[in-house]
Structure 1
Amino acid sequence: MTITIYSARRILTMNPSQPEATHIAVDGERVLAVGDADTMPHGEDCVWDERFADKVIMPGFVEGHSHALEGAMWDHLYLGYFARNDAEGREWSGLKSVAEVQARLREHAATLPPGEPLIAWGFDPVYFEDEDGGSLRLTRNELDEAVADRPLVVMHASFHAMTVNSVMLERSGILDGPSVEGIICDEQGLPNGELKEMAAMFVVFDALGRNLFNDVGSPHVLRRYGAIAAAVGVTTITDLYNPMTDDAIESMVDVTSSPDYPVRLVPAMGVLSWSAEEGIERLQAARSRNHERLHFGLAKLMTDGSIQGYTARLKWPLYHDGHDNGLWNAAPEVLTDLVQAYHQAGLQLHIHTNGDEAVELMLDAIDQALTLWPRADHRHTLQHCQVIDHAQLRRSAKLGVCLNMFANHIYYWGDIHYQRTLGPSRCQRLEPLASARRLGIPLAIHSDAPVTPLGPLFTAWCAVNRRTASGRQLGEHEAVSVSEALEMITLGAAYTLGLDDRVGSLDVGKFADMAILDDDPLQIDPAELCNVGVHATMLGGRCHGCG
């Protein structure tokens, strides 16, 4: 087999024993050697490739918390506050008023067949003020003014809430009165169209005959997701809330089996969709379908919601602006029992914990599980943990828990947290990366795409610079260095997925997964980190986007 030797301006290996190099030898799908030209293999079977000689090579980025919904939602209308590029590269302007939201809805509705439901996403009410200066409550009234002749569903940016119009309320039977938690009512006690968390939203999905979260099982969605990831340097990506239906499993196996698929896919099964016994059996059976570009085995548990959506569970003093505390996606005792069941089965849990009360509950559950069934290398990972406090950090270190923090949150919602939801004091520990690192906690950072755009270098920029959209710096003492942030989007994220033996660094025997960059992240101004271009990626020695 031919051995290909690539040269580069610089190779940042993320291998502590050999942090940088100028050449890398690839034999088939794996790294054979890393070093300078003199240490490379020589012989008739060696081909020297200079096409990246002026580029910087890194391990392919590992996105440890994102969703294949990033590939699905561009089938629907974007209503976000921030401008955003879709999967085809078209830029959608951000919408700064409810009137602009209504105008885009009307324009799009006019292109649809009569009666066809309109699904939109990305709206974030926390960026809009009501008459009293508080967060706007988008209701069916505003949606009815825009679209009243068909069902209308607007998913919020957090994906933990939606607002629907009166036609959709009537079709789903919600107008008859609340039947599940999360249906918000007006002063007259009537549903106002706002639905929070999974139980309430699933009532709408049932009426539509379509669960949007199950769209991730579509082959075209998975292909689009892979293409979006590769374009920003990602070679290993998660789908961190997969329904794991039979159809979804077959689609993932089929799509990732193609040698042209540009990423390794790591789905995590949403455990709340199954009883503990069914979920464990299903996940263990799926592991037999694993191959080099598909890795089953992770379980995802949803505890609370989002801070900006007021559905996260916070400890005292709760929300800074006096809002009621958030919602649990299942009763705390049920969540605790699920942790123990999956832990006992030897499976790895990735646990959504936005609020510090949710963190506390899950640390208690993991502590109990480890007492009953000790496991030295469980790698249970708390996801988001945006305002985890220092006592909880020390406890996480003691329990061997990994943390994957939502660094992008600082930019997109830092100003909102400062002014409304958390207040100035708690914002100083928002995403406390430096403190967690000092305690030796295994760390990753993520985008939670499609909640925020997929782009690990932007996520690293957030962790380093800690700037909000307005330019305010939050928590300067929790900033990390560029090299530390780069580790969190490569080897650190790979560790939280249990894949650091194969991806996350460029080392002999690992997969030849690379991100080829136009500039050197360690040589530029840290404020420019988010502007480093991705020239191409390589997965197992196969180049994507190389031209």
Structure 2
Amino acid sequence: MSDTTIYTASKIVTMHSSNPVARAVAVRDGRVLAVGSLEECQAWGPHVIDERYADAVILPGFIEGHGHTMDALNSEQSYVGFFDYPLADGSTVLGITSTAALISRLKEIESGLGDDEILLANGLDPIFFPGEPRLTCHDLDEVSKTRQIFIRHASGHLATVNSALIAAEGITRDSLTPGVGKDESGEPSGELREPPAMSLASRAFREMQIRSINPGLVRTHAEMARNAGVTTSTELVGLMLLLPQQLEAWHEIVDAPDFPGRMVLYNLPSMPGTSADYDAMAEAFLALQKSDTPKMRNGGVKLIIDGSIQGWTAKMQWPGYFSGEDNAHLLTTPEELKETVKAFHRRRININAHCNGNAATEIFLDAVEDALIDFAWLDHRHVVQHSQTSTAAQYRRMAKLGVCANIFINHIWYWGDQHAAITMGPDRVRSMWACRTALDAGVPISLHTDSGVTPIGHLMTMWCAVNRVTPSGRVLGEAERITPYEALYAATLGAAYQLHLDHEIGSIETGKRADFAVVDASPLDVDPLAICDILVLGIVVGGEHFEAPQNAESGS
């Protein structure tokens, strides 16, 4: 039997500039042998023809450059987010749209717990309840005055807890840890902002973390990715430097032939708000990379510099937030950040920096520039992750420094109306998620979902970047729209470039891995407003086929 298989399709969009569209692709040994017409592929010798995708469209497999396997927790624990959330089996968990509905859901969960169990839930964001007071410990006391309750916000940067937890952990009006919310009388409000404050809820926070780092979540995450056409995903809170004992379990899962995708980890060298011997961590990372396989790699390190815009903990330049209380604080100092960046940069380790606020972006760019002066590395491709409020001047600076931007474009749909009305204001919101500005400045961009914060899926990120429409129907920053082709590039080759993997994945061309997304229509051919309605039929990873559940949702 031949070792070459030729797949035919109604259309193949390759993202290869010399050969942009084809009707057939030949695969051998998990790699692309040829792309073109059926006759051109047949010229390579003995083969079999597989017509399973004859009526479908084949795209390069989507690449999620900022994912989290904790999105699988929405299948395994109580989801209390505002928007509906698609699960790995193709079903959907319904969102919570009011405080009353939240309390009702929590009471239902609480009734099924054992005596000493903590009530843990995920996905809350009080910003979606604008006519109601911000959720406090007293609201959660309606669920239980004796059981500890810990509700992680959608951003992962805040939590709201009840009075029983506050008392059990000894959190008081005198607690000095930054981020402990206080009410008008100075007593703890129940809101804990950023990891140093969240960790005061030691038992609940530890249990939430243990659930979040379970290696078994990665398979569920990959199944969610499969449903969205994603063939390579990332874990942007990789813990292989802090918990190296997890490495073997991860490899056992990801390297298995039936695992539907590839994973790239960006590992924390320290927990947010803490320090470490970063030179030692950099050496440990180089040793870690020796374990890399074609399906699981350690791509670099992740530094978390600030917090969440909708949680008012992202660090903004003047004039700050449009309304609400500015609770921002940096999770590192500019001086420490410079030394941290140098430790990894000088060893040619790629750095991804969480920068939601433009003040955070600025100090990261300062640190990169400082490192480049001391240690030349022309192809570093360090990444500003999220880059939601980066300014035009900062994008021009990124271009000169060789820095990339991975833009959290999904915020347009999930929080765009709130940013316009509450956090950024109706004028400044137009320049958020500035894809057009970045591209015009020459900055390589990708798009991401921050999976777990919003559902994984690049048909939605593309839809947001092309249309910039919010749930209320308003267009936020028409001048920052990009074309469907530019959005597809960002979701494929753009992300591959940032991962230093554009020589292997991101386009369908000879020599690259046979990683495809199979869909029912091309995002380059449909009405731009219909991009998110394209149906994902499945994926191909290294020539292996993985079908999406028949009841799976479309890109939205």
TM-score, with normalisation over the residues of structure 2? 0.94
Q: Structure 1 209/156 Cα, relative in aligned 2: closer, same or farther at 3 Å?
A: closer
Q: Deviations over 1:214-240 (max 9, x none)?
A: 545423211111111111100000000
Q: Which residue does 2:69 correspond to in 1?
A: 68
Deviation of 1:176 after TM superposition, in Å, equals 7.2
Following the alignment from structure 2 to structure 1, what is the Cα–Cα distance between the partners of residues 548 and 74?
A: 27
| 2:60 pairs with 1:59 | yes
8 Å CA contact retained: 2:237, 2:266: yes
Q: Please show how residues 389-468 of structure 1 align to structure 2 within 5 Å.
A: 389-468=391-470
| 2:495 pairs with 1:493 | yes
Following the alignment from structure 2 to structure 1, what is the Cα–Cα distance between the partners of residues 182 and 248?
A: 41
8 Å CA contact retained: 1:123, 1:154: yes
Deviation of 1:275 after TM superposition, in Å, equals 3.0
Q: Which residue does 1:534 correspond to in 2?
A: 536
Q: Which amino acid aligns with 1:255?
A: I
Q: Deviations over 1:260-303 (max 9, x none)?
A: 11111001111233431342133112101100101113100000
Following the alignment from structure 2 to structure 1, what is the Cα–Cα distance between the partners of residues 327 and 182?
A: 17
Q: Which residue does 1:36 correspond to in 2?
A: 37
Q: Which residue does 1:202 correspond to in 2?
A: 199
| 2:253 pairs with 1:255 | yes
Q: Structure 1 308/43 Cα, relative in aligned 2: closer, same or farther at 3 Å?
A: closer
Following the alignment from structure 1 to structure 2, what is the Cα–Cα distance between the partners of residues 230 and 322?
A: 39
8 Å CA contact retained: 1:216, 1:222: no
Q: Deviations over 1:378-421 (max 9, x none)?
A: 00000111111111111011101000000101111111111111
Q: Deviations over 1:96-131 (max 9, x none)?
A: 211110000001111111221111011101112356
Q: Choose the corresponding residue for 2:237, options 208, 223, 241.
A: 241
Q: Which residue does 1:155 correspond to in 2?
A: 152
Q: Which residue does 1:182 correspond to in 2?
A: 179
Following the alignment from structure 2 to structure 1, what is the Cα–Cα distance between the partners of residues 414 and 205?
A: 33
Q: Which residue does 1:285 correspond to in 2?
A: 287
Q: Which residue does 2:552 correspond to in 1?
A: none
8 Å CA contact retained: 1:118, 1:153: yes
Q: Structure 1 11/89 Cα, relative in aligned 2: closer, same or farther at 3 Å?
A: closer
8 Å CA contact retained: 1:29, 1:511: yes
| Worse overlay, 111-120 or 392-401 | 111-120
In angstroms, what is the RMSD of aligned CA positions?
1.7
Q: Deviations over 1:465-501 (max 9, x none)?
A: 0011111100000000111100111000010111111
Q: Please show how residues 11-160 of structure 1 align to structure 2 within 5 Å.
A: 11-42=12-43, 45-129=46-130, 136-160=133-157
Following the alignment from structure 1 to structure 2, what is the Cα–Cα distance between the partners of residues 264 and 510?
A: 14
Following the alignment from structure 1 to structure 2, what is the Cα–Cα distance between the partners of residues 242 and 445?
A: 19
8 Å CA contact retained: 1:428, 1:475: yes
Q: Structure 1 209/312 Cα, relative in aligned 2: closer, same or farther at 3 Å?
A: closer
TM-score, with normalisation over the residues of structure 1? 0.96
Q: Which amino acid aligns with 2:167?
A: E
Q: Please show how residues 316-335 of structure 1 align to structure 2 within 5 Å.
A: 316-321=318-323, 323-324=325-326, 326-335=328-337
Following the alignment from structure 2 to structure 1, what is the Cα–Cα distance between the partners of residues 531 and 76?
A: 31
| Worse overlay, 528-537 or 270-279 | 270-279
Q: Which amino acid aligns with 1:324?
A: D
- Aligned partner of residue 350 in structure 1, secondary structure: strand
Q: Choose the corresponding residue for 1:272, options 258, 261, 270.
A: 270
Following the alignment from structure 2 to structure 1, what is the Cα–Cα distance between the partners of residues 267 and 199?
A: 17
Deviation of 1:200 after TM superposition, in Å, equals 1.1
- Aligned partner of residue 271 in structure 1, secondary structure: coil
Q: Structure 1 111/41 Cα, relative in aligned 2: closer, same or farther at 3 Å?
A: same
8 Å CA contact retained: 1:318, 1:325: no
| Worse overlay, 172-181 or 435-444 | 172-181
- Aligned partner of residue 203 in structure 1, secondary structure: coil
Structure 1 alignment gaps of length 5 or more: none
| Worse overlay, 305-314 or 194-203 | 194-203
Q: Which runs of 4+ in 1 moved over 6 A?
A: none
Deviation of 1:546 after TM superposition, in Å, equals 7.4
| Worse overlay, 277-286 or 24-33 | 277-286
Q: Deviations over 1:423-481 (max 9, x none)?
A: 12211111110111112211100000110111110110000000111111000000001
Deviation of 1:336 after TM superposition, in Å, equals 2.5
| Worse overlay, 180-189 or 536-545 | 180-189
Q: Which residue does 1:229 correspond to in 2?
A: 225
Q: Which residue does 1:337 correspond to in 2?
A: 339
Q: Which residue does 1:8 correspond to in 2?
A: 9
Q: Structure 1 43/375 Cα, relative in aligned 2: closer, same or farther at 3 Å?
A: closer
Calculate percent identity across the aligned residue pairs: 40
8 Å CA contact retained: 2:88, 2:227: no
Structure 2 alignment gaps of length 5 or more: 550-556
- Aligned partner of residue 289 in structure 2, secondary structure: helix
